[in-house]
Amino acid sequence: MTIEIKTATLEPIRHTFEHTRRRFGDKPASRYQEASYDIAPEHNFHYRPLWQPDKLLNDTSRTALVMEDWYAFRDPRQYYYGTYVQARAKLQEVTESNYSFFDKRGLAERMPEEIREQIIRCLVPLRHLELAANMNNVMCCAYGTSTVVTQAFLYNGMDRLGVAQYLSRIGLLLDGNSGEALATAKDHWMTDPAWQGLRRYVENTLTLEDWGEVFIAQDVVLDTLVYDLIYRQFDAVITEQGGSDLAMLIEFMQEWHKDNSRWVDATLKSLAAESDHNREVLGGWIAAWREKAVADLSPLGEVAVGDEAVAASIEALDKRLAKAGL
């Protein structure tokens, strides 16, 4: 038996907005579709930006990549604002309970001193790198084309700020909130030879003007390598040396990276599938930034994991690129 409540049904005069009907047909559209497709201004801009007079306000030429239809992308996670914050809130809840467990049990004190130092040297400085990732993704959001593309960049950008803040909290958990670990980690970031290549790489990305290139340099090349090196390989090394409690502090980064990679892969694939032109442009950027990243990451790889570490991360990157047809 089921119970059946009678409600008045009113025949709708249309099933969705015109912009979603034109794209997906006259049927109820999903909330992701109604809030993501064809809602960005595209025509009749009134004034040229004082800060870039050779372009229009929303100008597709802010990247060398070309798309027939900039809405050809689809976020496999179908994040619009509501689904995005709810997904992150879930992840945040788990993370919060991990951090408070770590704190309550005084697990920082149980960590061998050299492990703590190693974390402060090799992990905590990434908070600065994450700030650059925040700026880079917000840049792609600000100058990219179409909401399906730009909203995901903003989510990514804000996520990176969140990661930077969690990394800072790891520092504070290790130094009893004195801020010393953060200061030491910043010293490493500024002067430690293990980090200088990476810092140079990052500062270089912050001066780029083509948002497509930023996407490649940051989200594709650097993130793939760094997340593999630190959150997989370094995590394993630390666990082996008796620091397995670190795992609960970086679970957020691992889960987030998995989630974000689904979108990065889909975006890369759509860009590459579009044309030979795009594949050529992407290929050029990838070659250039991959080479730099390998050189710049190697010193950290050696310090954090060992000689072979970066080679293993490159494998992860190449696999990823091959999947996208690059």
Residues 82-141 interacting with another protein (rule: CB under 8 A): 82, 85-86, 88-89, 92-93, 95-96, 103, 106, 108-109, 127-128, 130-131, 134-135, 138-139, 141
Nearer to another protein, 121 or 128 (CB): 128
* Region near another protein per CB under 8 A, out of 160-168, 224-232, 243-251, 283-291: 160-168
Tokens 């030879």 belong to residue: 193
Question: 198 with 209: CB under 8 angstroms?
Answer: no
Nearer to another protein, 147 or 313 (CB): 147
Nearer to another protein, 207 or 322 (CB): 207
Closest approach of Cβ 103 to another protein, in Å? 7
Neighbours of 316 (CB within 10 A): 16
Q: Which two tokens stand for residue 39?
A: 């809602």
Tell whether residue 19 is a contact of another protein (CB under 8 A). yes
| CA-based nearest residue to 152, from 234, 258, 58, 261 | 261
* Region near another protein per CB under 8 A, out of 31-39, 215-223, 287-295, 311-319: 31-39
HSE-CB at 3 with a 13 A cutoff on CA atoms is: 1
Please name the residues in contact with 128: beta carbons below 8 A apart, sequence gap of 6 or more. 164, 186, 189, 199, 202
Tell whether residue 313 is a contact of another protein (CB under 8 A). no
Closest approach of Cβ 207 to another protein, in Å? 4
Instruction: Give the DSSP letter of residue 310.
Output: H
Count, residues in the chain: 326
| Residue 63 to residue 69: CA distance in whole angstroms | 14
Closest approach of Cβ 260 to another protein, in Å? 14
Tell whether residue 4 is a contact of another protein (CB under 8 A). no
Closest approach of Cβ 292 to another protein, in Å? 12
Q: Which of residues 51, 276, 307, 322 is near another protein by CB under 8 A?
A: 51
| Residue 196 to residue 189: CA distance in whole angstroms | 7
